[in-house]
Amino acid sequence: MDLFDTSSTVLRHPVWYSDSATDEITLPLSASDYQITHGDRADGRWTVTSSNGEVVYCGIGPVSVTEG
């Protein structure tokens, strides 16, 4: 049992210079506090928005937000 909730939330996204490499960004909230929008913008970019309205990622996809 983890009394202090030490698991982190990680955003993974591809990098422009590789077909197989990804980059990871550690996020402060739980995974359920983020919404992923799948390339709906005119430029095809994916966005990840936190529950308080902050855009934490806008770029190439696909992206994922997971715990740990």
The domain locations on the chain are 9-67
Q: What is the mean pLDDT of the chain?
A: 89
Q: What does the pLDDT read at residue 3?
A: 61
Q: What does the pLDDT read at residue 56?
A: 97
CA distance 47 to 36: 6
Q: What does the pLDDT read at residue 44?
A: 84
CA distance 15 to 20: 8
DSSP structure string for 26-37: EESS-GGGEEEE
Q: What does the pLDDT read at residue 23?
A: 95
pLDDT confidence tier of residue 29, bands split at 50, 70 and 90: very high
